[in-house]
Structure 1
Amino acid sequence: MATDAPRSELGEVIVEFTRNGPYVKCSAIHVATGREVSAMGPVHEPKAVERVAIAKLRRALDLPA
């Protein structure tokens, strides 16, 4: 779990990256609920793809942005 502020309110989150050629898939799993979301983007921007996945997870859990 990262320590940055936006993710800290979520609790424990598992983040996994899977590379597929020029793309990377980022899966974010909320440990307490088991809710999983994913996002895809260019392999050279993994942090941006992670931010999108975390934002999707927040929306899926109905948490404020």
Structure 2
Amino acid sequence: MAVSGGYLIEFQRVGSIVRVSAIDPVTNTEVVIQGPATAGQETLSRAAVNKLRFVLARGQQGGPASSPRTR
């Protein structure tokens, strides 16, 4: 597990794919991405952190991440 800009990053290799989890320790929000193992940890961690920042920002704006779905 690594720390990137205040976020926790975890890498799990499954064959030729790497599963990357990014966790915000303040809100305990977690996102997961998958990518090719050949992409490198820096590229994959950057993509995971970008996704985490997107999810956190969407939650602060009151978007679908923070409100229940209605039908």
Same topology, TM > 0.5:
yes
Q: Which runs of 4+ in 1 moved over 4 A?
A: none
Residues paired across the two proteins, number? 55
Per the alignment, residue 55 of structure 1 pairs with: 50
The one-letter code matched in structure 2 to 1:41 is G
1:12-65 alpha-carbon deviations (Å, 9 max, x no partner):
2110000000000110000000000011111121222211110100001107xx
TM normalised by structure 1 equals 0.75
Counterpart of 2:57 in 1: which secondary structure? Answer: coil
Two-structure CA RMSD over aligned residues (Å): 1.5
CA distance in 2, matches of 1:49, 1:40: 8
TM normalised by structure 2 equals 0.69
Rg comparison, structure with higher value: 2
CA contact (8 A) 1:39 1:50 kept: no
Per the alignment, residue 23 of structure 1 pairs with: 17
Percent identity of the aligned residues? Answer: 35
